[in-house]
Amino acid sequence: MHPYLPHTKEDITKMLEVIGVDHIDNLFDDIPKNIRLNKELKLDKSKSELEVTKLMKQLANNNVTINEKVSFIGGGAYNHYVPALIKHLASRQEFLTAYTPYQPEMSQGTLQAIFEYQSMICELTGMDVSNASLYDGGTALAEAVFMANHANKKKDVLVSATVNPQYKDIIKTYARFKGLNYIEIKESDGCTDMENLKDLFSADSSSVIIQTPNYYGIVEKGSEVRTIMNSFKNKAMFIVSADPTSLAVLEAPVNYGADVVAGEGQGLGSPVSFGGPYLGYIAATKKNMRRMPGRIVGETVDKDGKRAYVLTLQAREQHIRREKAMSNITSNQGLVALMATIYLATMGKKGIKEVAIQSMYKAHYLADKLCNIKGITLLNSKPFFNEFVIKTKVNAKMLYEVLIEKGFFSGVVLDDHQLLVCATEVHTKEQLDSFVKEVEGIL
């Protein structure tokens, strides 16, 4: 007997009687003998909760957390403050253990939460429609690229070199098999090279993708991209990957002409969790609403005229459109989207802005102090938000490793002399100062 398996011997006997077979093994008589596994799986035997807990804690304790060291690692996963209530609300079983709200009458909780999520994503991006979530920032961009291809049937995908390298890799993978051409727009001083974009942009361009703040933390000039794209009419789509937190301060992409905004929403209430589960968000203008991948919730009324929510525009989706669907996505990141919804509600109008501004000020404070050290300079001159690249006279990897000893994860090593450093509202001045002191000591 096992705690998850409720059947007593007597239950089994009674049930087999109803079915009309003698033994539970007979329920597998339809499987030819030569297919069946005639041995035990090479796995451990079942364990008690006590044993499993011990085992899991051993594994967990064999990791060094970002609470044990002070971490300035960003690069697509950000350590923002996560209000305590999120975990409690998101782990309510009614949210946690439900599935896709295909029966709206008993899923109004999930449906309304998604509707609120969509509304807040639209508020941040300025877009007209958001879906219920995608896997992560990288696949969200890949889906956006496919949306553009659906819309204009063109094949050239122009991706700025300053987009997160993992997102670029994902777009490359998706594009290759779909038969699209991945073309990289060069960078200059840590920014998308607009001259190069002008050269590359053509009648065959399907989409142009930039990220802002970009991989190096620099704020891109989306309006310049749009101007270049407007220079001739070819129906190409402008796709922007924006850190949603930064959108409390930075211009909403709709206002510089983005057609689709797609990115990573982990920073909205989820821990860094060794890379997942994260939150891919995607939002678009009304024109592209019916090309959106995945689920969308709409407001409607019930028979009595009472306001309610339901999955809508489903004819785009795989369960109806099959091979002609906009995407194959089914399971999304529902619970993470719920956490983002609760986060945005909790932080609210003021809080999201304070997070953005504190992160920015702290990153700039840190950058200034680091650059006062001889042997450290900023790599780029363009305005950055809360992440920046420093050029180190000494070997960056060596610096990084020594700093781990001193109690710091100093950032992401980009090459022999470059380190990508990030700060958020969770860092204190004291931490920043002591980090600077340690770096100074090493140099």
Task: For the segment 220-239, give every residue that binds other proteins (CB under 8 A).
Answer: 221-223
Distances in whole angstroms, Cα of residue 443 to Cα of each of 306, 387, 392:
67, 22, 9
CA distance 271 to 67: 12
CA distance 47 to 139: 37
**Residues in 344-363 at the binding interface with other proteins, rule: CB under 8 A:** 344-355, 357-358, 360-362
Could you tell me the smallest distance in angstroms from the CB atom of residue 159 to other proteins? 14
199 vs 428, beta carbon nearer other proteins: 428
Q: Does 255 bind other proteins (CB under 8 A)?
A: yes
> Contact, 242 vs 214, CB < 8 A?
no
Among the listed ranges 152-160, 186-194, 197-205, 292-300, the one in contact with other proteins (CB under 8 A) is 292-300
**Binder among 22, 199, 302, 405 for other proteins (CB under 8 A):** 302
Q: 213 preceded by cis ω (within 30°)?
A: yes
Among the listed ranges 183-191, 198-206, 226-234, 340-348, the one in contact with other proteins (CB under 8 A) is 340-348
> Contact, 257 vs 223, CB < 8 A?
yes
Binding letters toward other proteins, positions 404-443, x by CB under 8 A: x----x--x------------x--xx--x-----------
170 vs 239, beta carbon nearer other proteins: 170
Q: Does 304 bind other proteins (CB under 8 A)?
A: yes
Q: Does 333 bind other proteins (CB under 8 A)?
A: yes
CA distance 309 to 47: 43
CA distance 72 to 186: 27
CA distance 391 to 260: 34
DSSP 252-281: PGGGGT-SEEEEE-TTTT---GGG-S--EE
Q: Does 136 bind other proteins (CB under 8 A)?
A: yes
Could you tell me the smallest distance in angstroms from the CB atom of residue 3 to other proteins? 8
231 vs 330, beta carbon nearer other proteins: 330
274 vs 374, beta carbon nearer other proteins: 274
Q: Does 52 bind other proteins (CB under 8 A)?
A: yes
313 vs 394, beta carbon nearer other proteins: 313
**Binder among 254, 336, 414, 436 for other proteins (CB under 8 A):** 336
Binding letters toward other proteins, positions 12-51, x by CB under 8 A: x-xxx-xxxx--x--xxxxxx-xxxx--xxxxxxxx-x--
- Using CB atoms within 10 A of its CB, is residue 411 exposed (0-12), middle (13-18) or buried (19+)? buried
CA distance 376 to 385: 19
